[in-house]
Amino acid sequence: MTTPVRIAIFEDLPPMRWPNACATCCGKESLSGATVRVGRIKSARPNLLGGWTIKSDVLYLTVPVCARHRTVNQLAHVLLEKSPLMLLIRGLSYLLGLGGALLLLTSLIRLDGVGLMQTYQNSPPFFWMFMGGLAASLLFFWLKRQVGVRVVRLDPDLDVLDLRFRDARFAKAFKKANPEATDSVMTAGPPWYRRKLTHQLLVLAVFFAFMAYLFNRH
């Protein structure tokens, strides 16, 4: 069970402080940093040329980890990144993994392995794609449980990070080290009518209404 924490990263707040311990096991021996990258789309608006103008932010965090858990944390930070490429890779892996799981389930129900063997004999590439997707999906789920600090997102409406901590002791120490930045009042989100998504949907609605008006005129 992970512990959620929201932390503000406003410019007038002190720099983020990390406990002097491993984020995964709270050990204090042989500590080093595991870097995680998080980004967000700050704004996305249609332009007069028919394209889109997109602004984004990128933030890097260095999470303390011990030598034993450094590799798994670095791997998790790369494979669980919220970048478009990794989201696409994970999405395809989950879809293929679902096919692989259904194939295995069918064979187990029959107790003869016919489904697996037929798929392998008739189409080896699809067999390995399904099995590879299943293996990758299991790896992603395992990494989510092993990573010390997982960045859920950078809030689109505030300079606030949503984090999830594997160890509740580390999460408590982190909040104690950053009392002002993790205060619930400081990190509270705005009401729905002040959120950027609401404004962006409104801009899109006006844009498409205007395009429909121009189209109907011709």
Q: Domain ranges in the chain?
A: 1-70+150-189, 81-146
Q: Find the distance separating the first CA and the last CA of the chain, reported in whole Å.
A: 59
Asked if residue 61 has pLDDT above 80, the reply is: yes
Cα separation, 191 vs 193, whole angstroms: 6
Q: Dihedral angle at the C-alpha atoms of 113, 114, 118, 120, nearest 10 degrees?
A: 0
Asked if residue 62 has pLDDT above 80, the reply is: yes
pLDDT over 70, % of the chain:
80
Q: What is the CA radius of gyration of the chain?
A: 23
Greater confidence (22 vs 201) lies with 22
Confidence of residue 10 (pLDDT cuts 50, 70, 90): confident
Matching residue, tokens 């790369």: 78
Could you read off the pLDDT of 73-129 as tens digits, one per residue? 999 999 998 888 889 999 999 999 998 888 777 777 765 555 566 666 666 777 788
pLDDT computed for residue 31 by the predictor: 92
pLDDT computed for residue 198 by the predictor: 75
Could you read off the pLDDT of 150-195 as tens digits, one per residue? 988 888 777 888 999 999 999 999 999 999 999 888 788 766 666 7
User: Which uninterrupted H or E stretch holds 60?
Assistant: strand 52-66
Average pLDDT over residues 131-148: 93
Confidence of residue 32 (pLDDT cuts 50, 70, 90): very high
Range name among 47-51, 55-59, 168-172, 196-200 with the lowest pLDDT average: 47-51
153-163: b or e for each residue (b if 16 or more CB lie within 10 Å)?
ebbbebbbbbb
- Sign of the alpha-carbon dihedral angle for 162, 163, 168, 173: negative
**Helix, strand or coil for residue 68?**
helix
